[in-house]
Structure 1
Amino acid sequence: MLFIKNGKLFTMTENGVIDADILVENGKIKEVGKDLVVPLNADVIDADGCYVMPGFVEAHCHIGLEEDGIGFEGDDVNEMTDPVTPHLRAIDCINPIDRCFDEAVQGGVTCVCTGPGSGNVIGGQFAIIKTHGRRIDDMVVKAPAAMKIAFGENPKRVYHDQKKSPMTRMATAAILREALFKAKKYVNKQEAAKNGIDKEPEFDMKMEALAKVIRKEIPLKAHAHRADDIFTALRIAKEFDVNITLDHCTEGHLIADYLAEEGRYAIAGPSLGHRTKFELKNQSFETPAVLNKAGVKFSITTDSPVIPLQFLPLCAGLAVKAGLDEMEALKAITINPATILGIDDKVGSLEVGKDADILVCKGNPIKDINYKTIATIIDGEVVYRG
């Protein structure tokens, strides 16, 4: 049992910012309120003069798949031998003992969606995990959580070098459509077999993976920087009536009105760093503010290891400097990514019944670069003390 007293709570709910206590029991938030009674057997954290926030949530990264300070031996992000690899699972290559997890925890990041990169048209299955643990099976919140797909320069570059398709944006879209057509047919045959109309289709591991997309059990997670690539992603999602998130959405500020009409979620970033390729020429920290003004639900991403995961609040702070409201910036790294990932019933806000993923810190992480983490709590366990 854990008791956090005298804190200034950023609840990320309609209650806003309140001076209150939190009681944690069995890994969940049991009570939130003023002047709560401290249980006799509780571990007490005095948060007087501190901010208490939900643990930060990262909606798109590759932590654990591309290990810190290691080259080929620790790089398992992209299986660049086949443009269609939906059957690959992030949980089979995440190394939770990589030091990047410790750094993320120290920065207050408690939950992430991590998975394959953007080298392939269809890269494989993302997983949502907590950032503390030694065995990945014990850290999973949801797996699979999404199916990675990629548009734009990356798959073109990979397969141009191999002198095979896709070498154009047309081919990328065509390869994705073909895979989704096959998956839809596969699912239809499965449904027909259940109704006794037809025989069960021969097992196909790739189609089994994509069937979850067709059934809307998981969304497509679309790597798309440029506006035209974003529109292609949306076009294909509508063609097959599947769910999709727009990851990176670098030129989202140029088409924010259209994105608002579409009603899809955006995951904006990474915006800190050099523009390393042509499709990043309009990269800007103004994107979140423009998306927010247009009414697009969005989160902010580091795309770790592009930006180290512990700098997620710094990225939110830079978005504030570029015009984003401070509270909206905090939402963009807490409740918004939780909502986008479909886990807002578990994390992202300080509410009774949710996982006790909590950050206690001195200084506001998105305003004060010198903020200090006093404690990071995951599932009710204090996993870091500053």
Structure 2
Amino acid sequence: MTDLVAIVGGRVVTGTGLQIECGTVLVSRGRIEAVGSELDVPHEARVINASGCWVLPGLIDPHSHIGAHEEANGPAGFDGSEVSNPVTAGVRAIDAVNIEDIAFQDALAGGITTVVVKPGSGNPIGGQSVAMKTAGGRSIDEQVVRAELGLKSALGENPKQAYGERKQMPSTRLGIALVIRQALLDAQDYVERRRRAEADGAPFARDLGKEALAAALDGTLTWEQHAHRHDDIATALRIADEFGLRLVINHGTEAHKLANVLAERDVPVIFGPILSSRSKVEVRESDPANLAALAAAGVRVALTTDHPVVPIGHLALQAAVAVRAGLPRDVAIAAMTSSAAEIAGIADRVGAIEPGRDGDVVLWTGDPLDVASIVREVLIEGRTVYTAERMTE
């Protein structure tokens, strides 16, 4: 098979606000080489006729549990949360993902080519996330976009319930914040001991959990803060200030109440899920209009299904619902493509149809925000991995 692919004749929506009618996308050796309306197509290229289609970058879900909370596999497929200890910073989501989870087929059918898989929210500090493609590898390691991405932390109802039922700390918001602060303080002490040992050439006992926390302290890992209520978001901002964390709010049900503060500080929000019910107290004010308010205030936003809370294939449907609630169309598209990639820290690879990024391209039969449109074909790094007729081996 040729390493050069030309997708011709479609309406190209780059994910960065640009639309090209009857455009051409050239993908060479897995990367986008060129995009435009009057490109010469090399004779050796494999040509995909996209006439009548909308051509978009592969969509991104920047907060999911796909493969770790497997579809249709019951407790045997539930590996997303190690709640045996309130602080499990050393665990890695990559070790829990089963790439044969049937939800990956649903992701492709929904135009999603990249996901960020995160540990669950039962722990105040739950572990490290991974960004990966939804197809294309013999193992997850061949699908990884970035293995060292973020460190998941949770405030509010979930850790309160997980540990309150055990009658152990933390069982209140007070206790959760204390556990997080103490873990970060311990990591600061660890970093200093490590520095001294290195300077002295002395032996040093490594601790995987504290190494991960140290990476969050120096900004290598994003601090991925699960928070719904406005008071939890305020706590997240406070802790981020105390320790210099690179904060991203995940869920943000009531983030609109602090929209101006978040915009001033350039703290982004991965919002959602939108299509879920108000299943607990802290999501009682859930409303897609809250996302529109965040964007209007200048907050950088992305969309999440929080799969399996909302089936991952419904990401574009959530964007359509958000547009109906007032989110501008271009912001909704970016929230699944370029903005999602920037917030997740993977914009060097994915999120837009522009030269240098991975050749992850999706052909839709129409406007992806029209619920009647379906995905006709999905390419990951220039290779067709899904068509509407069949899953490509």
Name the TM-score class by shorter chain.
Answer: over 0.9
Quick one: which amino acid aligns to residue 47 of structure 2? V
CA contact under 8 A between 2:11 and 2:19: conserved in structure 1? no
* Aligned match of 1:147: 151
Q: Does 1:381 align with 2:375?
A: no
Quick one: which amino acid aligns to residue 375 of structure 1? E
Select the residue among 196, 205, 209 that pairs with 1:192.
Answer: 196
> Where do 1:59-74 residues align within 5 Å?
59-74=62-77
* Aligned match of 1:276: 279
**Secondary structure of the residue that 2:320 maps to in structure 1?**
helix
In 2, Cα distance between the equivalents of 1:171 and 1:105? 41
> Where do 1:256-295 residues align within 5 Å?
256-295=259-298
In 2, Cα distance between the equivalents of 1:70 and 1:13? 38
For residues 262-297 of structure 1, what are the alpha-carbon distances to aligned partners after superposition, in whole Å with 9 as ceiling and x for unaligned?
Answer: 211111001212111000011011122101110000
* Aligned match of 2:312: 309
What is the CA-CA distance between 1:17 and the residue it aligns to?
Answer: 4.2
CA contact under 8 A between 1:54 and 1:357: conserved in structure 2? yes
**Secondary structure of the residue that 1:113 maps to in structure 2?**
strand
CA contact under 8 A between 1:119 and 1:150: conserved in structure 2? yes
In 1, Cα distance between the equivalents of 2:193 and 2:358? 40
What is the CA-CA distance between 1:14 and the residue it aligns to?
Answer: 5.4
**Secondary structure of the residue that 1:144 maps to in structure 2?**
coil
> Where do 1:1-386 residues align within 5 Å?
1-13=4-16, 15-132=18-135, 133-196=137-200, 199=202, 201-366=204-369, 368-386=370-388
Q: How many residue pairs were aligned?
A: 384
What is the CA-CA distance between 1:206 and the residue it aligns to?
Answer: 1.4
In 2, Cα distance between the equivalents of 1:7 and 1:185? 56
**Secondary structure of the residue that 1:286 maps to in structure 2?**
helix
TM-score for the superposition, normalised by structure 2 = 0.95
313-322 vs 126-135, greater mean Cα deviation: 126-135
CA contact under 8 A between 1:189 and 1:200: conserved in structure 2? no
CA contact under 8 A between 2:103 and 2:312: conserved in structure 1? yes
Which runs of 5 or more residues in structure 1 are unaligned? none
Quick one: which amino acid aligns to residue 100 of structure 2? I
CA contact under 8 A between 1:214 and 1:242: conserved in structure 2? yes
CA contact under 8 A between 2:20 and 2:37: conserved in structure 1? no
CA contact under 8 A between 2:216 and 2:246: conserved in structure 1? yes
Quick one: which amino acid aligns to residue 147 of structure 1? L
Which runs of 5 or more residues in structure 2 are unaligned? 389-393
What is the CA-CA distance between 1:41 and the residue it aligns to?
Answer: 2.6
What is the CA-CA distance between 1:218 and the residue it aligns to?
Answer: 0.7
Quick one: which amino acid aligns to residue 152 of structure 2? K
In 2, Cα distance between the equivalents of 1:365 and 1:265? 24
Quick one: which amino acid aligns to residue 370 of structure 1? A
**Secondary structure of the residue that 2:270 maps to in structure 1?**
strand
What is the CA-CA distance between 1:126 and the residue it aligns to?
Answer: 0.4
* Aligned match of 2:391: none
CA contact under 8 A between 2:222 and 2:248: conserved in structure 1? yes
Q: CA RMSD in A?
A: 1.3
For residues 137-190 of structure 1, what are the alpha-carbon distances to aligned partners after superposition, in whole Å with 9 as ceiling and x for unaligned?
Answer: 101111121101000000010111111111100000000000000111111222
For residues 98-129 of structure 1, what are the alpha-carbon distances to aligned partners after superposition, in whole Å with 9 as ceiling and x for unaligned?
Answer: 11001101110000110210001111110000
In 1, Cα distance between the equivalents of 2:354 and 2:27? 11
